[in-house]
Structure 1
Amino acid sequence: MFSNSNQNLQNQSNDMKKGTAEDQQDDTFLPPRNAVHPTEKEKWLRIFYRTLLWLFILLVVGLLVWGWRKVKGEA
């Protein structure tokens, strides 16, 4: 009767030791892969949006210059 309870106590203490080892492993985890190696997708997306912005700005400037020349030529 006592030997069975002693085994239970030993098993519980072993489980507790395993739990603390697992907790320690959880505390020292590696960062996610995308944090260490960022994707090229974000880089190309930023370049794409900046290119679109500059094309729009150039279009507006070009239309303004074309409009001023047209108005000056007809006046």
Structure 2
Amino acid sequence: MVNIENSFNNFILTMNAWELHYYREVREEGLIPLKEKMKRHIDAIFLFFTEKRKESRAARYHCSAVTHLNTRPPKYS
């Protein structure tokens, strides 16, 4: 099982490193020329930390059931 606290700390440290890396460049060159490069880098970080794990069939059923229990029926006029 993944240690959530460890994962969260790693995410925060990685995001901090991203911010520190681009801070100087943005101050020197401006945001516009670096915007796409920064976005690609942050997207890669986001995908790494939010990668979907393979769920068991029971977990999918449970989540689906809970979602349906918490929804309201549509209103018809």
TM interval, shorter chain, is 0.3 to 0.5
> How high is the TM-score relative to the length of structure 2?
0.34
Q: Which one scores higher on RCO, CA 8 angstroms, separation ≥ 6?
A: 2
More helix by share: 1
Structure showing greater radius of gyration is 1
